[in-house]
Structure 1
Amino acid sequence: MKLSTPRWWYERHGRHGRVARILLKPVSWIWTAATARRIARATPVDVGIPVISIGNLTVGGSGKTPVAREVLRLLRSAGIEAQALSRGYGGRLDGPVRVDPVVHTAADVGDEPLMLSAGAPVWIARDRVAGARAAVSEGARALVLDDAHQNPSLHKTLSLIVVDGETREGEWPFGDGSVFPSGPMREPMAAGLARADAVVVLLPADAPPADPELLATFGTLPTFIARLEPAQAPPSGPLVGFAGIAKPWKVERALKAARADLSDFVPFPDHAAYRPGDLAFLADRAAVFDAGLITTEKDWVRLPPDWRTRVTSWPVAARFEDEAGLRTLLAHSSR
């Protein structure tokens, strides 16, 4: 059973989750030690081509996949045969296998690889080294790894950390800095930043500039600001939104900011598989408000095919404020 992301993870001073944090601390210490030991003992494999990692320091919800898609676009527009490699979280196939959006479903390869496959060749593999070698054998000249900062199996030419820069009063992207499960961190911040080459701070399209205090967290690391921009306006008329991502409340905020006539919003756990009961509930909510249904691109690819005609997909794209600077960094790392 999938669990929803605790909102108290992102409370900087931990008012509501104080007891849970205390009870879960011992498990966090075990998680931290195991992660550090796994990374320290690894011998990364060099597969002979540039490998660009798109990762984060927290458990889900930072916007890695839109950033990975934009990095792929920029590399391919520069004439580099860049391909993506993912673990294929949520899919049943072990790989290595190249994602075919005509043949594969999210249940086969995961929702994020299916999304990325619309713009570039994508491979999924539980064994990242085997997946990388398969991609190289099929002509890849650069690899973009989706969600691999804590996976040490491949030698990385460039490691980008994606940070959710949207902060509200009482919220902080890293909570109080606690490591999973007592907080959202995958590892202590200092350890994660020490292996990073640059940071991408992702903001909503209409958000104010990034919090200076947040930017100061990254010290001297190069930091790029990207905006999540809707690819299209929401349709007119009443809408019932839903999302099964790590932070579904961000989708609700974004739809309202885009002036959607949102009658209701239904959150689901991250990577939720939409069961008949879930779909019946959504259909009922839409009928109550005489509304259409709208969701994220990531959720839309997980819907049964017959439901995709009944739900509007609302895609977003990461656009960098300093695209030229990012292109230069990618070109230097792709030689």
Structure 2
Amino acid sequence: MIRWSPRLRAPAFWSAAPGVGAWLLKPASAAVEAIAARRRARVGERVSVPVLCCGNLTAGGAGKTTLALDLGARLRERGVAVHFLTRGYGRRPRARGVGTNIFGRGFPEEPLLVDPDIHSAADVGDEALLLARIAPCWVGADRVRSAQAAIAAGATCLVMDDGFQNPGLHKDMALLVIDGSSGLGNGRVIPAGPLRENPEAGLAAADVVVVTGEDRAGVSVWVEKRAPKGMPVLRAWPVMEPSVDLLRGRPVVAFAGLARPSKFFRALRERGVAPLRVVSFPDHYAYRRKDLARLARVALKLEATLVTTPKDAVRLPAYFRRHVTVVGVELAWADPDAPESLLDRWLEREVAAR
């Protein structure tokens, strides 16, 4: 059995019925919820181009980056000069004292335009490198400054990956992404549960809800009962790229450092790929040499192919990445016309408003 002991993972009670752990942390959760509510009440600064935000209510794992990539690619195909904005979670600060504190207040930092040929995941975060493959991506804790830099560089619309709870920049359209299998977890706010804010307050701030995957948690029913009348609820499924079919019948060792690695492993099995071993790491995990050496030894012993996700691949050193098969995911929409109609409505509305 493979044993790793890297960084803390999300506690098990986040996904279970509220128990003793959640009860003991209730006062801390109340404080976090109050801070989130005060931030939510602030009015964001408007910029001269339309801003679309892909966010979620929980601490990772809902698929917001996959959605941002999908919509960004569609905008590029239209010939729109779209730029991405992201905080660059998991990156190292570029100067002493740079970043955000627990209250979300930013310290001075110049926005950085990501260059995949120069920057590493440690410099800008793994998600930023993926976004930069589609369109220019700006990293910075201050979303307003990032937006201004992007506009100065020629952006005619902006897509935010995360930042749903960030009050600095006004969102012209906010898409709330909820994973259908995990839903809202135990329904408690961090640290008693996985929620970033009161879920009903978050829902009220959204313009569209996108439910990803099978709705085992009853998300659609929850949204229908609580959302403003007429709020669109779109359905989409993460689907592995066709290249995964080449792995069928082959010995595989799968590893992933995601908010929910089990989703990746389950998706492999659903496509007929049965890993001999699966190894989970925390989200945004910075792989160490000893981690890679262990993975290599296991794969060699089992005469198996190492398989991981694009988000993990950008965190691997080049020498190791050459020996790993990377399998990405795309979004399959229940209504194939839904994302295009969404973008039409967003862009036409904002052009008219300006």
TM-score (norm 1): 0.92
Give the CA deviation at 1:212.
8.8
Partner of 2:8: 3
CA-to-aligned-CA distance 1:55-107 (integer Å, 9 cap, x gap): 00001110111100011112222232111000111112454111111111101
Partner of 1:183: 193
Partner of 2:237: 227
Distance of 1:253 and 1:329 partners within structure 2: 30
Distance of 1:274 and 1:257 partners within structure 2: 27
The one-letter amino acid of 1:176's match is N
Distance of 2:241 and 2:202 partners within structure 1: 32
Partner of 1:200: 210
Distance of 2:120 and 2:110 partners within structure 1: 14
Distance of 1:317 and 1:138 partners within structure 2: 29
Matched, 1:77 2:90: no
Give the CA deviation at 1:229.
1.1
Please give the residue correspondences for 1:311-330 in structure 2 after superposition, counting only pairs within 5 Å. Answer: 311-330=324-343
Equivalent of 2:156 in 113, 134, 141: 141
Distance of 1:131 and 1:284 partners within structure 2: 43
Q: Secondary structure at the match of 1:233?
A: helix
Equivalent of 1:120 in 135, 144, 161: 135
Distance of 2:332 and 2:168 partners within structure 1: 30
CA-to-aligned-CA distance 1:304-333 (integer Å, 9 cap, x gap): 111110111111111222232322222221
Partner of 1:304: 317
Would the alpha carbon gap of residues 256 and 212 (structure 1) be closer, same or farther in structure 2, given more than 3 Å must change? closer
Matched, 1:151 2:161: no
The one-letter amino acid of 1:38's match is R
Would the alpha carbon gap of residues 95 and 288 (structure 1) be closer, same or farther in structure 2, given more than 3 Å must change? farther
Partner of 1:52: 52
Contact 2:52 2:160 (C-alpha < 8 Å) held by counterparts = yes
CA-to-aligned-CA distance 1:283-310 (integer Å, 9 cap, x gap): 1221221111001110010001111101
Q: Percent identity?
A: 43
CA-to-aligned-CA distance 1:191-235 (integer Å, 9 cap, x gap): 1001000001111xxx5xx35932121124211111111113332
Distance of 2:160 and 2:173 partners within structure 1: 10
Would the alpha carbon gap of residues 232 and 114 (structure 1) be closer, same or farther in structure 2, given more than 3 Å must change? same
CA-to-aligned-CA distance 1:91-140 (integer Å, 9 cap, x gap): 12454111111111101100001011111111111111110000000110
Distance of 1:119 and 1:228 partners within structure 2: 18
Q: Secondary structure at the match of 1:319?
A: strand
Distance of 2:309 and 2:283 partners within structure 1: 12
The one-letter amino acid of 2:262's match is W
Task: Give the RMSD, CA atoms, in angstroms.
Answer: 1.5
Q: Secondary structure at the match of 2:66?
A: helix
Please give the residue correspondences for 1:272-311 in structure 2 after superposition, counting only pairs within 5 Å. Answer: 272-311=285-324
CA-to-aligned-CA distance 1:140-169 (integer Å, 9 cap, x gap): 011000011100111111000011112xxx
Q: Secondary structure at the match of 1:227?
A: strand
Distance of 1:332 and 1:131 partners within structure 2: 25
Structure 1 portions without partners, runs of 5+:
167-171
Contact 1:233 1:258 (C-alpha < 8 Å) held by counterparts = no
